[in-house]
Amino acid sequence: MSERRILFEHILEPGTGKAVELLKGQIMRIEQVEGNQCADFNCFNLHDYKEFMHCGRTRTVHGFHPTKGAFMWSAPPRERAMLYILEDTVGRNDVLFPRCSAYVYEAAYGFAVHTNCHDIQAEAQREYGLTPDDVHDSFNLFMCTGVDQGGHAYMTRQTTKAGDYVDLLALIDVLAVPNVCGADVMRTSNFALKPLKLTVFTATDTDLARVPKTPVLASQRTPKDFRNPSIKTDRPLRRDPAYKPDFPNTPIRITELPVVLSAEELAAFNTVKRADIYGEDDAAALRDLLFSWWEERFLQAHAGAPSIESE
């Protein structure tokens, strides 16, 4: 396909959200109408809602402010790239803050009822049979956040303009749920609620060619791989008397590996070993050195994040 074709347009009025079926190869544009408006966003596999966007994995891979060129990943054990950020005219989004909720506005501001992202998401997701418990951590578009020196997350005002947008390309069929953030008494959207525009259009071949390859690994499991593939349908938790634990790679077995170091090797080790942590336990310090070296030499991604094949 050489030209984008518009499939859907919708104005998200303040206080509202919309669940939209976004099929593989389609793009959702979330666009500022007046400017300075944060959008919260949830995303589910359209054919299996138990697979959903995981901000934790996403921020590990792409940092706290995913932007153009980043993927939105699903939670373990699926861990697939669900969406690709194809364009971002601002470049300031957030996967650090949770969605605002009724509790926040009641506890901090005394509101009995107030627009809030959790309840807006829940109401939008209800159209597809989901419950308030299914709302997950949000990808916060156009939200300016950071971490202060004390380790606390903070938010500040944004400087987006009318026409600024983020384009999200679906890599699988998803239910995409954006909402106008309900915060009008916080800095998130500069103390006002404004509309946002949604546009869904087909991606062109050029758009699709811009997506880097991501790994396809055996560890990306689906329900056919689960020991318990059935979704639990009642609320209480009861012990399964037939349960027998089967944890991977257990029991953990320890092997002792003697390493003979020459005087020169020992001297080199002594100059860099973490005696501040391991004291006189040279075995633990050498194990630390070994895997720290391995990370430096072979790890292609940030520690704890999956590697991504580049273009």
Partner 1 sequence: MTDTVIKLRLNQQQLELMDRTIARGVAPNRVALIRLAIREYAAARKAETKAKPNDLEPMR
**For partner 1, which is the closer residue by CB, 234 or 296?**
296
At 227 the three-state DSSP class reads: coil
**For partner 1, which is the closer residue by CB, 286 or 308?**
286
**For partner 1, which is the closer residue by CB, 235 or 297?**
297
Considering only residues 217, 274, 279, 307, which one is a binding residue for partner 1 as defined by CB under 8 A? Answer: 274
Which 226-265 residues touch partner 1, going by CB under 8 A? 249, 252-263, 265
Considering only residues 153, 185, 217, 268, which one is a binding residue for partner 1 as defined by CB under 8 A? Answer: 268
Where does residue 179 rank: exposed (0-12), middle (13-18), buried (19+ CB within 10 A)? buried
Distances from the Cα of 160 to the Cα of 35, 100, 236, angstroms:
5, 20, 46
Which 281-310 residues touch partner 1, going by CB under 8 A? 282-283, 286-287, 289-294, 296-298
Q: Is 269 in the site for partner 1 (CB under 8 A)?
A: yes
Q: Specify whether the CB–CB gap between 204 and 68 falls below 8 A.
A: no
Q: List the structure tokens of 168.
A: 């999200």
**For partner 1, which is the closer residue by CB, 153 or 299?**
299
| Sign of the Cα pseudo-torsion (237, 238, 244, 245, in order) | positive
Distances from the Cα of 44 to the Cα of 31, 134, 142, 176, angstroms:
21, 10, 21, 7
Q: Is 271 in the site for partner 1 (CB under 8 A)?
A: yes
H-helix or E-strand spanning residue 268 = helix 263-272
- Choose one: 9-17, 111-119, 178-186, 266-274; the region binding partner 1 (CB under 8 A): 266-274
Residues in touch with partner 1 (CB under 8 A)? 249, 252-263, 265-266, 268-269, 271-272, 274, 282-283, 286-287, 289-294, 296-298
